Amino acid sequence: MVGCCTLALWLLVAAAEAPLVETAEQPGQDPQPEGVAAGVESPAEDATLEPVGALDERARAALDRGLAYLARAQAAQHDGTFPRAGGEKYVPVPVTALAALAFMSAGSQPERGPYGHEIALAVDYLTARADMNASSKTFGYISSEGDELSRLHGHGFGSLALSQAYAVSPRTTRGRRIEEVLRASVRLIENCQGLEGGWYYEPHRSTEHENSVTVVLVQALRAARNSGIRVDTKVIDRAIDYIRRCQAEDGSFRYGLNTERTTVALTAAGIATLNSAGEYEGPEVSRAIEVLWQRLGLRDTKLRGSAARFEFYERFYLAQALWQHPDRRLFESWVVDERERVLADQLEDGSWPDTQFGPCYATAMNCLFLAMPEGLLPIFQR
């Protein structure tokens, strides 16, 4: 991640959600694909059957245990954050944001639902970490003292979490504070966009750029726009153009314009970002899906048992890329085995281990993965 890279309210928000760039195709349309990525079977559709992606009893229990672990971990901190608990790197802003998103993905909202109190604490921490000095060069920047690693990556996840919280509580006192911070946060993102259309790690305009930072910020802008915050469409256009130019000839996505390095994680993130712009089909998406499926197949055949370097970040974007695709067989063909891997790795206390950023990070990411088919978080709506 950082290193490299109630129910009725949710549904009302999701129903009004629109992509950053309007297109004729929407992900909720009945898919009529001419083909599908190699290796994906074409099961006969039966409207009476529960979708393969739906949570079964074991997955739902694992999600509940994971969220309960996060709540216990947060309670021990007293400031709304989550401990790294053995993680090597201190990144409180993105971990707090991801945990808040995980609680919201299961149906709670600030001060409402089983984890409403925990969300409120996390949201209050994030808004308190925003630089709201109008004369500051980093006005709107969400960061934490001591975190020298996440920078704009963390800001993007923080903005994403605040957007989702604001979407369901805009008229509260907390909602007004979130709106104030979100508007400043969006302006910071817009002002930091580089000449090539992408972003780098520091909260200022740079000649450098990096795709993993860019995809997080584009998704944050989409979420802010969908919650009613004005976003400059020219910024979005330049960002999407940058992401397209980061696509390699084989369809995968590179870390930037000046490197040939590609990964499964960044390719999935690239697809998810194009989805944010309303592009769910087309040559760029088709080529990326094809190479993604090939690489996943190769990994299963030759590298079974080995984990990706940034496995939780990768799973988070893989799930989004495949979930949003119009051909639902893609997600359903992938999620069965992936879910089994996740369930097998969960510890007795409900957490998942991670030596980089700690178990709260890993647990939040896996809870988001498990909850995605529930469709309660606006950014995960098909």
In the chain, the domains with their CATH numbers are 7-17+50-380 (1.50.10.20)
Q: What is the pTM of this model?
A: 0.85
pLDDT tens per residue, the chain (382 residues)?
A: 444 443 333 322 333 344 454 333 333 333 333 344 544 443 334 443 445 567 899 999 999 999 999 999 999 999 999 999 988 999 999 999 999 999 999 999 999 999 999 999 999 999 999 999 999 999 999 999 888 899 999 999 999 999 999 987 777 899 999 999 999 999 999 999 999 999 999 999 999 999 889 999 999 999 999 999 999 999 999 999 999 999 999 999 999 998 899 999 999 999 998 988 888 889 999 999 999 999 988 776 544 444 566 899 999 999 999 999 999 899 999 999 999 999 999 999 999 999 999 999 999 999 999 999 988 888 887 7
Q: What is the pLDDT of residue 51?
A: 53
pLDDT of residue 297: 84
Per-residue confidence (pLDDT) for residue 61, from 0 to 100 = 98
Residue carrying structure tokens 């947060």: 74
Per-residue tokens: 80: 């709304």
- Check if the beta carbon of residue 119 is closer than 8 Å to that of residue 109: yes
Element holding 168 (H helix, E strand): helix 152-168
Sign of the dihedral through C-alpha 81, 82, 85, 89: negative
Identify the pLDDT of residue 301: 52
CA distance 138 to 305: 43
16 CB neighbour count, 10 Å cutoff = 12
Model pLDDT, residue 170: 77
> Which of 166, 183, 24, 198 shows the shortest CA–CA distance to 100?
166
Give the pLDDT score at 34: 38
Q: What is the DSSP letter of 334?
A: H
Distances, alpha carbon 250 to alpha carbons 48, 138, 212, 256, 309, in Å: 39, 38, 19, 15, 22
CB atoms within 10 A of CB 282: 11
CA dihedral 98, 100, 104, 109 (to 10 degrees): -160
Looking at residue 45, its pLDDT comes to: 41
- Rounded CA separation 211/201 (Å): 10
Phi, psi of 36 (to 5 degrees): -145, 160
